[in-house]
Amino acid sequence: MSEHRSLCEKILVVDDELAMRKSLSLLLSGAGFEALAAADGAEALSLCETAEYPVMLLDLQMPGTNGHQVLTGLLQQKAGTRVVVLSGETSFDAVRDSLQLGAYDFVRKPYPAEELLTTIRNALASYHQEQERVRLKKTMLESEKLHRYIVNNSPDFVYVLDKNGHFTFVNDTAEGLLGYTRDELLGRHYSDLVFEEDLPLARYVFNERRTGERSTRNVELRLKVNTEQRETRTFDTHLLPIELSSVGMYNAGYTGDPNKFIGTYGCARDMTERKRAAELIHFHAYHDQLTSLPNRALFEDRLGLAIAHSKRNEKMLAVIFLDLDRFKLINDTLGHSLGDQVLQGVAERIQGCLRAEDTLSRFGGDEFTLLLPQLEDQRDAATVAKKILMRICEPYLIGEHEMFLSASIGIALFPDAGETGDSLLRAADVAMYHIKGEGKNGFAFFQESMTAGWGEHLSLERDLHRAIEDEQFSVFFQPKVNSSSSQIVGLEALIRWRHPIRGLIYPDQFIPLAETSKQIIQIDNWVLRTTCAEIRRWREQGLPPVPVSVNISVVQIEQPNFVQGILSTLAEFGIPGHLIEIEVTESGIMKNRETTALKLRALSQHGISIAVDDFGTGYSSLSYLHQFPVDTLKIDKSFVQQIKEGTSDACIVDAIVAMGRGLRLHIIAEGVETEAQLSYLQKIGCSEVQGFLFGGAQSAQQTFELLRSGVMAKAPACPLEDLNIQRFQLTTSS
């Protein structure tokens, strides 16, 4: 495409988010295109009725007229616009429906800019090719010679059958698609080319006698390929998937009976690339994207089949749970990119120790599971475990780094350790943690005695049920302070559990347990209600309004009534949305991104602010921030602790502050404990801080007295051991 043409091209951006429309418009303008925008589907269809747009960038999830309805409307308008779906919705059904409704391509949010521009240019090329084809068709239709030229240069296989089903004409494309020359096909019956399983359907569509709207449209079949002549491009090298349309031909316009059936005219389109895309989508739905191993869903499906097979054949099988030892150290010191390469290497080494019938799965993070069916005895599983441990312990050389790893392996045997998939996985997990407790780098078979250590775990889980009813929890508040004036600008609600027997329990001892058992939902609700009650009390006492942030677990966000539950609680206590901020961890916000973004956006529309907690410890990506209505980034205290007195070296805090300011987000630094840290943060423009330099979390009554003064005096320097309860900072997400 020439530079002159690109300057004239109109690209219509259809998205209900203003920020996304502006971002795309800037990108398109910078690439030399003329960008126009529509805020919803109805506006887009209205614009397309009055003007021609070569390419449309279309979001699927929009209020009112959604993306699929826009595609349907364009089909009805018979618009030539090439639609590139640009959406965070990446399910197989969404992609399939979009393509079936005429979408040219599907690009997933967040998108690499260069990839999107390449897709747009390809779409423009396709649009102009189509325009050229239409123009040629109009000018050459009257000439049979030119008509044959068009047919023979069509990317589709065009043919004519006589009334008995024999080929009387095929275009030049037939040889490229099927590997047969024209002479080899002429006179041959169509059934010779059709895959045997598809013959019953083929008898109807190839022998089509109907015309008009009732004729065959887009029926999928498989044709046999002459593999000796054709360079195969399909998954099955002997078959070509096609989409077939055909129409009956009659003797109209000639002497004799004008209603006499004389044959069938048809057009077959190569479906290889579309099938490949569908297979790829299906693959990603059941495989880990980093290692290409089966994911948890596929593993559990295979495990269920293997258990059924073992029951019938009275054979033993083993489930292995493998966790890499101290892998977090690699991510923390060398970065997630290098850590991902290590995981790929580990997966490859484990796979090399297995049989073809075994299944290796990545469960997530540095956890892997293995299914070993058809075992003679437990020694077979032990042999595999030893081999895997030896391979994992061999040095890894990635770039300039040489690393050594070890692993902890738990083995559960069917039927001794359990007779269901869940029980076997749980038993293997218990055995793996047993090895972790014994010093790591080894394997163990599950034994009932290993569950003794879980008694305290279960007891704590039972106590959690009674904690809310017995009023064992309380909410403390830690101030958020202006780094320059020491003025209180907000509060964070933090939960405390004073167990009647155990005393103060650290959050890392029960918050993960609460999330696993789903009791975190009750805890989150209780914290929100208690916080709202305190805010109402402060307001009734005439204190100035101060926004309070509440930590929310990803388990809570996943609940179908999450949004309505928060809004109902605020309405019950008469708390306006701008006085509440929802804090979600970086890892939590990335789980089920599309659904989470919709829910957080709904809260944002009611004035509720959204903060990303522990920023910098997870994805730390600009691309995902654009998907969420984020107002605040909280810099994790681990980065603040890297700021040393007298240092002038730039650190990751500089990057986060600069990025946040560029995105016009509030930035809060957590864990500020020294004057040097505060001074450094002031210098780089971080306006808000939290930490023991200004005091830890305090009770509701202490906070009430503090709010009266409005200014936080910096706390005297003291070791953390002297801070008592203030050192036990706790949020409702792990």
For the domain that residue 185 is a member of, what is the CATH number?
Answer: 3.30.450.20
How are beta strands 34-38 and 10-14 bridged, if at all? parallel
What is the chain's alpha carbon radius of gyration, rounded to the nearest angstrom?
A: 33
Domain of 64, CATH number, reads 3.40.50.2300
Q: With cut-offs at 50, 70 and 90, classify the pLDDT of residue 151.
A: low
Residue 176 lies in a domain: yes
What's the CA gap between 180 and 307, in Å, rounded? 48
The answer to the question of residue 591 being in a domain is yes
User: Between the ranges 452-466, 479-493, 579-593, where is the mean pLDDT highest?
Assistant: 479-493
Looking at the structure of the chain, the number of domains it has is 4
| Among 177, 185, 181, 141, residue whose Cα is nearest residue 160 | 185
Of residues 148 and 594, the one with the higher pLDDT is 594
Q: Which one has a higher pLDDT value, 234 or 377?
A: 377
Structure tokens belonging to residue 586: 């970086």
What's the pTM value of the predicted model, to 2 decimals?
Answer: 0.42
Which of 174-183, 367-376, 382-391 comes out lowest in average pLDDT? 174-183
Torsion angle of C-alpha atoms 300, 304, 305, 309, degrees rounded to 10: 140
Where residue 618 falls among pLDDT bands split at 50, 70, 90?
low
Whether residue 651 is found in the same domain as residue 515: yes
Indicate the pairing of strand 609-615 with strand 688-689: unpaired
User: Is residue 451 assigned to a domain?
Assistant: no
Q: Is residue 702 a part of any domain in this protein?
A: yes
pLDDT range class, residue 471, cuts 50, 70, 90: confident
Same domain, yes or no: 462 and 522? yes
pLDDT given at position 733: 31
The pLDDT confidence band at residue 664, using thresholds 50, 70 and 90, is: confident
Look at residues 272, 276, 264, 278 and name the one whose alpha carbon lies nearest to residue 202. Answer: 264
State the residue for tokens 């019956």.
189
Task: Report helix, strand or coil for 326.
Answer: coil
Asked whether the predicted pLDDT for residue 603 surpasses 70, the reply is yes
For the record, the structure tokens of 706 come out as 């503090």
Residues 178, 117 share a domain: no
Q: Pairing relation of β-strands 401-403 and 396-398? A: antiparallel
Average pLDDT over residues 477-496: 90
pLDDT at 713 over 90: no
Considering the domain architecture, whether residues 318 and 351 belong to the same structural domain is answered as yes
Q: How confident is the model at residue 237 (pLDDT cuts 50, 70, 90)?
A: low
Residues 88 and 201 placed together within one structural domain of the fold = no
Predicted confidence (pLDDT) per residue in 267-326, tens digit: 888 877 776 766 676 677 788 888 989 998 899 999 999 999 999 888 899 999 999 988
Question: What's the token pair of residue 186?
Answer: 């002429």
Q: Within 10 Å of residue 465's Cβ, how many Cβ atoms?
A: 12
DSSP string, 588-611: HHTTTHHHHHHHHHHHHTTT-EEE
Domain range for 653: 457-727
Alpha helices, DSSP H, located in 144-242: 144-152, 173-178, 182-185, 199-205
* pLDDT range class, residue 604, cuts 50, 70, 90: very high
Task: State whether 495 and 619 are in the same domain.
Answer: yes
Residue that is last in its domain, among 140, 165, 180 = 140
Contact between 187 and 166 under an 8 Å Cβ cutoff? The reply is: yes
Please tell me which residue, 35 or 215, carries the higher pLDDT value: 35
pLDDT confidence tier of residue 491, bands split at 50, 70 and 90? very high
Crossing angle of the two packed helices 378-393 and 336-351, in degrees rounded to 10: 140
Question: Measured between alpha carbons, how far is 13 from 19 in angstroms, rounded to an integer?
Answer: 12
C-alpha–C-alpha distance, residues 157 and 178, integer Å? 9
In the block, which residue shows the tokens 């569509």? 205
The structure tokens 């073809």 sit at 356
pLDDT above 90 covers what percent of the chain? 27
Q: How large is the average pLDDT for residues 575-584?
A: 94
Identify whether residues 325 and 348 lie together within a single domain: yes
Q: What is the mean pLDDT of residues 219-241?
A: 67
Tell me how far apart the alpha carbons of residues 170 and 184 are, in angstroms, rounded to a whole number: 10
Res 616: pLDDT? 65
Q: What is the share, in percent, of the chain residues with pLDDT greater than 70?
A: 86
Amino acid of residue 399: G
Instruction: Give yes or no: residues 380 and 442 share one domain.
Output: yes
Determine the Cα–Cα distance for residues 393 and 346; give it in Å rounded to an integer.
Answer: 10
The string of pLDDT tens digits covering residues 550-569 is 999 988 998 989 999 999 99
730, 511 Cβ separation under 8 angstroms: yes
* Domain final position from 261, 279, 297: 279
387 plus 531 within the same structural domain:
no
Position 722 pLDDT exceeds 70: no
How many Å apart are CA 712 and CA 487, to the nearest integer? 6
Where does a domain end: 399, 422, 446?
A: 446
Return the pLDDT at 624.
64
Q: Per-residue pLDDT tens for 430-467? A: 899 888 877 788 999 998 888 765 555 666 777 887 88
Supply the CATH number for residue 351's domain. Answer: 3.30.70.270
Q: Flag whether 678 is in a domain.
A: yes
User: Within a domain: residue 733?
Assistant: no
Confidence bin at 726 (pLDDT 50/70/90): very low
- As a three-state string, the secondary structure of 74-109 is HHHHCCCCEEEEEECCCCHHHHHHHHHCCCCEEEEC
DSSP state of 705: H
The pLDDT score that the predictor gives to residue 235 is 43
Q: Are residues 428 and 303 in the same domain?
A: yes
CATH code: domain of residue 620: 3.20.20.450
CA 613 – CA 638 distance, rounded (Å): 12
Instruction: Please check whether residue 680 lies inside any domain of the structure.
Output: yes
Q: Does residue 251 share a domain with residue 193?
A: yes
Residues paired with 398 in a beta bridge: 401
* Backbone angle region of 650, left / alpha / beta, with phi > 0 → left and psi within -120 to 50 → alpha: beta
CA angle, 88 then 91 then 93, to 5°: 125
Q: Same structural domain for residues 327 and 210?
A: no
CA distance 153 to 380: 61
21: which residues sit within 8 A by CB, 6+ positions away? 13, 15, 37, 39
Least confident of 134-148, 277-291, 359-373, 632-646: 134-148
Q: Given the structure tokens 């109109």, which residue do they identify? A: 10
Secondary structure in 3-state letters for 444-501: EECCHHHHHHHHHHHHHHHHHHHHHHCCCEEEEEEEEEECCCCEEEEEEEEEEEEECC
In a domain, 732, yes or no: no
- pLDDT (mean) for 64-88: 88
- C-alpha closest to that of 269 among 240, 247, 248: 240
